[in-house]
């Protein structure tokens, strides 16, 4: 059980830390606007892409370190991500003037489970060769 929790947390933290770091870097160099100002659709499209890549990486990591049944762990990770992205969409829905267009949080909701699934599928469990101990 502890290794399962670590696997899911590692995947979640991978996506969260990489997203926050990228957002901070893009704010520092002026690509993302300061907090509290809406971003344009092209910038949010780029954010959707890198967040999806980070979601795939996190799910891959979860599958890789899961003690067994990697896709179950990835499904749990994706479900937690779905809940978080739904909460974000609900919290920002009527704040377009602060967060930008509504399509962005909806895109994050829609893409959460497919990116988790894809990241999990990228993991290929090692199979031992016949006669070679694993």
Q: What is the rounded average pLDDT of the residues 38-54?
A: 94
| Torsional class of 125: left (φ above 0), alpha (ψ -120 to 50), beta (otherwise) | beta
Model confidence, pTM: 0.87
Q: What is the rounded average pLDDT of the residues 64-72?
A: 94
Cα(84)–Cα(69) distance, integer angstroms: 23
Cβ 74 vs Cβ 120: under 8 Å: yes
Q: What is the rounded average pLDDT of the residues 62-70?
A: 95
């Amino acid at each position: 059980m502890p290794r399962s929790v670590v696997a899911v947390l590692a995947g979640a933290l991978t996506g969260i830390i990489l997203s926050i770091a990228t957002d901070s870097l893009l704010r520092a160099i002026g690509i993302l606007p300061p907090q509290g100002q809406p971003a344009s659709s092209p910038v949010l499209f780029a954010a959707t892409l890198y967040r999806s890549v980070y979601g795939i990486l996190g799910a891959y990591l979860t599958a890789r370190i899961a003690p067994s049944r990697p896709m179950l762990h990835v499904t749990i990770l994706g479900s937690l991500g779905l809940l978080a992205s739904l909460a974000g969409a609900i919290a920002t829905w009527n704040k377009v003037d602060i967060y930008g267009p509504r399509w962005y949080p909806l895109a994050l909701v829609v893409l959460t489970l497919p990116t988790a699934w894809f990241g999990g599928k990228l993991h290929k469990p090692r199979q031992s060769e016949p006669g070679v101990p694993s």
